[in-house]
Structure 1
């Protein structure tokens, strides 16, 4: 009898501990910081570009525009922490980076015209309302996950990567189309050299150094660009050591119906793209996103957008380029991206530190971006490989969706005669391609005879491709 308690104790102690998913793993501090910094380096230009464009367009001075850029870094960090760490039913809890959405740039400029000193308060008021709308609409978007089988998600992931590549090409040319050296051999040569450095590091380095090849490539490219005069130190000289984005720095938000409607449309576009991004990231990290994950991710997007104007930031959404970084480095920990969010907050509070990252020349960033964005497209192709493409209907869905999604990239003026409100959606190849893929999947695989529905169910039950880790 006395042996029974000991036997019971022994079997209990020998039970294997539950294995932690790589998404929930914590890394050593140095690896956590450098990997997080790599995410910041990959997204930095995308965060500061919208305020850099919108500020002068609505009449802000250079100093006010710089303030807007710092505030955007700060709010991007807050939104990223909401996504990666989360609380309650908020946050996808995936290595998901959030930042200022490009989708809102054109509408915000349109809103700001004619408003004078009230331009920014009117824009911020519209973003707050749009963010609240997105927060309460998130559960309904979450229910759309069953309409995203591999044939749809693979198509959208492919379009995300292909749509981002022109950004990398523009960076490789120098970024500013009106600059005298735009597209010069020096700029493109620097981008090609950075690309070569990243590829060589990925080929010959091992372990942790291989994982941060993008960051090392950016550092190496910047050091090479220094003696060539391709770096600009003005940002460091003019930056303050400490700065805080004072709440409602530009005045209390103002609420105008037309502006609110415009930004609500942008919010819906961002939610559509974020849904696709969450699904893409879930496949890449080996934790497929379900309805609850999508709902939490969209809530974090929307809440981040609603809070962002309080600290003088713009609408936040997923940054697809960082999905490519996760796919390439195989570092799947959400806490790494949370560390990146913390770095973004510190950069927003320390303009001098933010200016150091701004030293990276755009051609250097463009060379690395080709690898990052191409990795996203490659993940889409890998997902399509498991989408029962032998079925003629699925091949047709991909063909039509990719064709429509490429229109804004291949022919930017294609929709020039359409109403400006529609351009918010039509100028986004990701959004149009996603909508077409969903509708065609419904038409061919869901609506119709019982046999077609059974075939669709069989195709959706095929194991989905997850990139090797």
Structure 2
């Protein structure tokens, strides 16, 4: 349970402080990295593709993402003073920011993306100490809707990848490209269904490998940039130039950063319950500081915001390996991989149709996670259904009608053209009006609440008929 009172920095050793021999520590750490690896490399490839980067620059984005994710993981697990939860939490490039970054990159360029991340990260860092009090503004009805829209907003990216990404490229939309995407998706589905344990959790990575090998055999993979890339290099500082600061982009990114902070709070509390360690508000604030500090610094190395990876919390629960030093070792491996540009060049050479097949699962899983969160929402005698309906509609406008906001002021268009930002703004405001401001609320006064009750009654009758 999250304790309301702040405790001192000194704490008794907990299950997360257990140590293993070096060999086991490395093996368990690698298992964490393999579990989340696909999720780390995907965001740089998505945003880099939207920004129209070359293969060399895409490789730089990938290695920067690995380096920053590794450093952020070590900061979160080992901690420095009041920064870092010192819990077995893996940090990686956040999917929640991808849709917003794509929108900003397409309209204002990659430098504006970095500027927005820096400011939003610093705002989050300032808010970390008392964000626990603000979490009430992000109940499940808000976060579930936002996460659902994140997944839905990314689906067009997966389909565009499956076609070949560039409409001007030869073979765009061909059956060959679609076939590669379908093959990758099929491999992922078969592995997920047939195998259990670690192999099943590596289904995305295996699918990418198999799809890329097949693409290379049929001449649809280009790894020419690998030979032009250094084997080892220190990370560059501001590799894409100085960041620029656009108010609309900053507002959009700040909203998404608040969503990331909400997810991080949930992840910290969850990992505490999984390992059996007491989590107080001070420790939550320490974890948020690590999240926001690493996110604010990430653009200096050409990378993007970091957040906790929930799938690795599941791995802790599954394996029973609770040591934060195991996760820190995995973070060290990620950091070292980020110092090998040739490795990033290999990843950047994965054909877009192959990425498209994997993207269907990756992005669909994000949307499904949002739906799962919405399933926990109480819809009786309230207007939560209206909140979800209107917020979803606002979030889907950029997909269904991309020019909808063109006539509005540019700053507003930048904010609302991000489905995530639009969803967050509408969901938060409606939740405040309908749920937080209780004056005048009457039970059963809404036709939507009545419809909800009626549908529940219909469901009960159907259940009775099935049992009969």
1:97 aligns to 2:92 (yes or no) = yes
Q: Distance in 2 between matches of 1:200 and 1:65?
A: 30
User: Relative to 1, partners in 2 of residues 1:298 and 1:188: Cα closer, same or farther, differing over 3 Å?
Assistant: farther
C-alpha displacement of 1:243: 1.0
Superposed, which structure 2 residues align to 1:225-244 within 5 Å?
A: 225-244=215-234
Provide the residue aligned with 1:273 in structure 2: 259
Residues 51 and 72, structure 1, Cα contact 8 Å, conserved in 2:
no
C-alpha displacement of 1:218: 1.8
Q: Distance in 1 between matches of 2:163 and 2:179?
A: 9
SS at match of 2:367: helix
C-alpha displacement of 1:451: 6.7
Provide the residue aligned with 1:4 in structure 2: none
Residues 328 and 375, structure 1, Cα contact 8 Å, conserved in 2:
no
Deviations 1:139-188 (A, max 9, x none): 35442211222222322222222222222222222222332322221111
Residues 55 and 64, structure 1, Cα contact 8 Å, conserved in 2:
no
C-alpha displacement of 1:227: 0.8
Residues 231 and 341, structure 2, Cα contact 8 Å, conserved in 1:
yes
Residues 145 and 290, structure 1, Cα contact 8 Å, conserved in 2:
no
Provide the residue aligned with 1:462 in structure 2: none
Which shifted more, 76-85 or 284-293? 284-293
Q: Distance in 2 between matches of 1:376 and 1:182?
A: 27
C-alpha displacement of 1:317: 4.4
SS at match of 1:97: strand
SS at match of 2:372: helix
User: Relative to 1, partners in 2 of residues 1:155 and 1:105: Cα closer, same or farther, differing over 3 Å?
Assistant: closer
Provide the residue aligned with 1:143 in structure 2: 133
Provide the residue aligned with 1:42 in structure 2: 39
Residues 229 and 345, structure 2, Cα contact 8 Å, conserved in 1:
yes
Unaligned runs of 5+ in 1: 1-17, 113-118, 456-469
Superposed, which structure 2 residues align to 1:121-140 within 5 Å?
A: 128=118, 131-140=121-130
Q: Distance in 2 between matches of 1:325 and 1:405?
A: 29
Residues 194 and 217, structure 1, Cα contact 8 Å, conserved in 2:
yes
Number of aligned positions between the proteins = 419
Residues 247 and 411, structure 2, Cα contact 8 Å, conserved in 1:
no
C-alpha displacement of 1:283: 8.9
Residues 54 and 108, structure 1, Cα contact 8 Å, conserved in 2:
yes
C-alpha displacement of 1:308: 3.0
C-alpha displacement of 1:429: 1.4
Superposed, which structure 2 residues align to 1:175-254 within 5 Å?
A: 175-247=165-237
Q: Distance in 1 between matches of 2:55 and 2:194?
A: 44
Q: Distance in 1 between matches of 2:18 and 2:438?
A: 42
Residues 137 and 428, structure 2, Cα contact 8 Å, conserved in 1:
yes
TM-score, normalised by the number of residues in structure 1: 0.73
Q: Over aligned residues, Cα RMSD in angstroms?
A: 4.3
User: Relative to 1, partners in 2 of residues 1:439 and 1:128: Cα closer, same or farther, differing over 3 Å?
Assistant: closer
C-alpha displacement of 1:30: 3.8
Residues 425 and 431, structure 1, Cα contact 8 Å, conserved in 2:
yes
Superposed, which structure 2 residues align to 1:13-28 within 5 Å?
A: none
C-alpha displacement of 1:205: 1.0
C-alpha displacement of 1:72: 4.7
Residues 391 and 427, structure 2, Cα contact 8 Å, conserved in 1:
yes
1:172 is matched with which residue: 162, 183, 188? 162
TM-score, normalised by the number of residues in structure 2: 0.73
SS at match of 1:406: helix
Residues 192 and 367, structure 1, Cα contact 8 Å, conserved in 2:
yes
User: Relative to 1, partners in 2 of residues 1:273 and 1:339: Cα closer, same or farther, differing over 3 Å?
Assistant: farther
Deviations 1:307-365 (A, max 9, x none): 2344x42552449xx65787799869787875664444223311112222233322222
Q: Distance in 2 between matches of 1:215 and 1:444?
A: 44
Unaligned runs of 5+ in 2: 1-12, 446-468
1:396 is matched with which residue: 386, 396, 418? 386
Residues 407 and 429, structure 1, Cα contact 8 Å, conserved in 2:
yes
User: Relative to 1, partners in 2 of residues 1:326 and 1:360: Cα closer, same or farther, differing over 3 Å?
Assistant: farther
SS at match of 2:366: helix
1:421 aligns to 2:450 (yes or no) = no
Deviations 1:10-35 (A, max 9, x none): xxxxxxxx9958x9999864454254
